[in-house]
Chains A and B, each alone.
Chain A
Amino acid sequence: MTATTAGHDAVHDGHDHGHEHAPPRGLWRWLSTTNHKDIGTMYLVLSLTMFFIGGAMALVIRAELFRPGLQLVEPMFFNQMTTMHALVMIFGAVMPAFVGLANWLIPMMVGAPDMALPRMNNWSFWIMPFAFALLLSTLFMDGGGPAGGWTLYPPLSLQTGAAFPFVILSIHMMGVSSVMGAINIIATILNLRAPGMTLMRMPLFVWTWLITAYLLIAVMPVLAGAVTMLLTDKYFGTSFFNAAGGGDPVMFQHIFWFFGHPEVYIMILPAFGIVSQIIPTFARKPLFGYASMVYATASIAFLSFIVWGHHMFTVGMPLAGELFFMYATMLIAVPTGVKVFNWISTMWRGSMTFETPMLFAIAFVVLFTIGGFSGLMLAIAPADFQYQDTYFVVAHFHYVLVPGAVFSIMAAAYYWLPKWTGHMYDEKLGRLHFWCSAIGVNILFFPQHFLGLAGMPRRIPDYALQFAEFNMISSIGAFIFGFSQLIFLWVVIKCVRGGEPAPAKPWEGAHGLEWTVPSPAPHHTFQTPPQITEAEAHS
């Protein structure tokens, strides 16, 4: 990974030149920056903003479902809320949060001066706010926003009004952004590692992102293809999803879920990476089974391409298809089990302390596993015929996404906030945030398992009376969880504005290059690549 070159002097001139100038001030700094830390910060701010917007939509849903009967919103608006909540949370909150963390951390973790393609990095970010402006603007259009669910199944989604092309084209923009971001991350990891930072010495967060980036590049273009076909079916007379023309609406589901299932892992693999960084720190032990973690991640990524049919067991697939997708899906439990086992083994007989990042990480392990088990139940094709489109599915994927992906992001934020801001966050408030979130999220989603098993369909604004109690409990949990996040906002603002100065390595048990630079991390780090030795890598 070293490179000595002809034209070296010219290179240095160009480079040093950059240091003499402080970054430009004001808004232009943020619009024009090529710095991975600036861009990482912008991604994280975007993500938090979208988290609150998507969260507000979720609270509209839960408020309507607080009691049976229609009380607050029109059913059509309710459907817009479920659709937009999903699109905003997936593409606007979870994915940008992980990309923001990747931007901040990967160059520092591998000892690189910046991302491999810094200008393109800026473009990847700045497409996103515009994409969401386009998407959210549809709520104010004639006929409202998209209401057919985030999966955009035809023919229903083709009945969307003026909003339709805006939705599709905003998804194209998000796709362009994701693909460029992923290319940048792969190039950084493969080409900018410091001398001695071999692949099998990389921190696990870097490994999981390498594999996630590969998934993104492989499937975002497939989503682009699928939504392009929707667009041409609606406006240019094609028949991809029209049986009269020889197409098939179910074909959309196949193409969509070929994207959709790897997408699920795009939202969880970086979470695995984060938790694999945090648990060893607070257990004060090296990660148990590093190599098996890497191979498990790669296996999960591979399997993600051959399980999409489990999202559509009830569409009338041939029996061979049902069986194949059922068994392939169950296989995923094996590498996932390896991971959970490794996290627990890392904690086993460790000198554990329970600072906020560790609390979130442990909650992740427990609650994500619950989501994994309900996934296993859903994988059983004959049983899935009962669960399909019920609240059981809603409970399942919210368990893996909220106390799964979102908790890992919270854990990461608390863990690295001292590095980003140079201040320690308020530990008391952090713990308060954790307990309110952990209790709230279970009150919110656990009853939904029972609702689903009892037969309550998802995506409805009204329901039969026997579902009233659990819905009310769930809604109470939603408001507890939702408003608890304001504590997080307060902690972050407080930590940015001041607090106890953080040392370079605020966590006693932490390892990794990011802890060798001062806190807050200087604008430019590792312009001279560090040398990584065997001993450091495995300490």
Chain B
Amino acid sequence: MSTTTHDAPSAGSYYVPHSSPWPIIGSVGLFVTMMGGANLLNGHAPTLLYCGLAVLIVMMIGWFNNVIRESQAGLYSPQMDRSFRWGMSWFIFSEVMFFAAFFGALFYARDYALPWLDGTSASKPMTHELLWPTFEERWPTNGPGRVGGTFEVMGPWGLPALNTLILLSSGATVTWAHWGLLKGNRRQLCLGLAATVGLGFLFVALQAVEYSHAYQHMNLTLGSGIYGSTFFMLTGFHGAHVTIGAIMLTVMLLRSLAGHFTPEHHFAFEAAAWYWHFVDVVWLGLFVFVYWF
């Protein structure tokens, strides 16, 4: 079985890489990061965490470098391309489910937990009677215990609406870049990507402004009851994903400048674009359910 027949239809065309050092480096990096993170939470210095993160960054640079070089060397067949496509799609699906857990928490708190606490739900009157008989729910709330003290609510208009516009525009610019790529127009590709990356980081910067305003002037923090919890965890994880997506697109921009992509062969770009549309859609959910209603 160790000889390859070259003339069979897909014989041996599937590239199976040789042994690689990157996964084990990644495992050690992840281990050190997690251990460092746990130590930090237990009140120790963050040194170990930083070491682990450094290893993870080195791993990612090395591993992706490896993959890019293999791709440029023409080792990836269309079948390999399809594996990457399935891989990326299912990865994005797993991310959707991660956000679903937090959206689920938001909906559960608003539709079940709070009506039970304030007695407006007929199904569990005793929760209200026995725990906080004076509590009247009005969303947004920090609960009957007024956890975190009085806070102001982050309205949808103003910065969040502007951010919606920014992120939706960036979805358009990345598509425009893709059209450029398909036409073989590298100028359009690079301009479109540069605009997308710019808009992406602008979004993150404005989110940072919003956060600092919330903490300094609105007394709205992660500790502001269920509203603060869901607000910051949902927008925070989203912001982290936008940052990751923007870094991915930055790499794509650099690769476009280096002339890596062809109209036929550019899955890395598409993967980054898919991811970008995914964070876009999550934002729409956030804008509607976290900021607006």
Contact = CB atoms under 8 A, between A and B. Distances in A.
Interface of A: 1-8, 10-12, 14-19, 21, 23-24, 28-29, 31-34, 112-114, 116-120, 122-123, 126-127, 130-131, 133-134, 162, 164-166, 169-170, 172-173, 176, 179, 182-184, 186-188, 190-192, 195, 217-222, 224-226, 228-229, 231-232, 235-240, 242-248, 250-251, 254-255, 258, 316, 318-319, 517-518, 522-529
B105 interface: yes
B143 A7 contact: no
Contacts of A191: 79, 82-83, 86
28 contacts: A5-B78, A10-B75, A12-B12, A18-B18, A31-B21, A32-B23, A113-B16, A117-B84, A118-B17, A126-B23, A166-B38, A169-B37, A173-B30, A179-B91, A183-B87, A186-B90, A221-B97, A226-B101, A229-B101, A236-B222, A238-B233, A243-B143, A245-B143, A246-B137, A246-B147, A316-B124, A529-B8, A529-B11
Given A238-B233, A243-B117, A7 B27 contact: no
B244 interface: no
Contacts of A162: 42
B13 A11 contact: yes
B164 interface: no
Given A31-B24, A33-B19, A225 B98 contact: yes
Closest 4 CB pairs of A and B: A225-B101, A244-B145, A246-B143, A237-B223
A187 B1 contact: no
B11 A246 contact: no
Contacts of B116: 248
Interface in B1-20: 1-6, 8-20
A475 B280 CA distance: 56
B113 A243 contact: yes
Interface size class of B (residues with CB under 8 A): 35 or more
Contacts of B23: 32, 119-120, 122-123, 126
A51 B233 CA distance: 37
Contact of B63 (A119, A235, A525, A528): A119
A118 B16 contact: yes
A243 B145 CA distance: 8
Interface stretch (B174-182, B209-217, B224-232, B252-260): B224-232
Nearest to B2: A19
B34 A187 contact: no
A242 to B, nearest CB: 7
Contacts of B20: 32, 34, 119, 122
B15 A134 contact: no
Main secondary structure of the interface of A (DSSP, over half): helix
A116 B113 CA distance: 44
Given A32-B20, A221-B101, A239 B226 contact: yes
A186 B29 CA distance: 26
B225 A246 contact: yes
Interface string B105-117: 1001100111011
B97 A217 contact: yes
B31 interface: yes
A221 B95 contact: yes
B73 interface: yes
Contact of B16 (A114, A222, A235, A517): A114
A3 B79 contact: yes
A24 B19 contact: yes
Contacts of B21: 31-32
Nearest to B8: A528
A33 B16 CA distance: 11
Nearest to B14: A113
Contact of B101 (A5, A21, A224): A224
Contacts of A228: 233
Contact of A176 (B13, B30, B84, B99): B30
Contacts of A165: 37-38, 41-42
A138 B42 CA distance: 13
Contact of A517 (B1, B6, B42, B99): B1
Most chain-B Cβ atoms within 10 A of its Cβ — which of A164, A229, A239, A318?
Answer: A239
A242 B223 contact: no
A248 B20 CA distance: 46
A29 B24 CA distance: 11
Contact of A237 (B63, B90, B148): B148
Nearest to A220: B94
Given A220-B94, A318-B123, A1 B223 contact: no
A123 B223 contact: no
A293 to B, nearest CB: 24
Nearest to A194: B10
Most chain-B Cβ atoms within 10 A of its Cβ — which of A16, A21, A113, A518?
Answer: A113
B86 A186 contact: yes
Contact of A10 (B31, B73, B112, B137): B73
B50 interface: no
B120 to A, nearest CB: 14
A118 B87 CA distance: 12
B30 A11 contact: no
Contacts of A8: 13, 77
B225 A34 contact: no
Nearest to B86: A187
Given A195-B10, A526-B1, 10 more contacts: A11-B77, A16-B4, A21-B18, A34-B16, A165-B41, A187-B83, A242-B143, A245-B147, A247-B226, A522-B1
B229 A524 contact: no
A376 B225 CA distance: 40
Contacts of B6: 12
B83 to A, nearest CB: 4
B145 A126 contact: no
Given A122-B23, A165-B41, A236-B222, A11 B34 contact: no
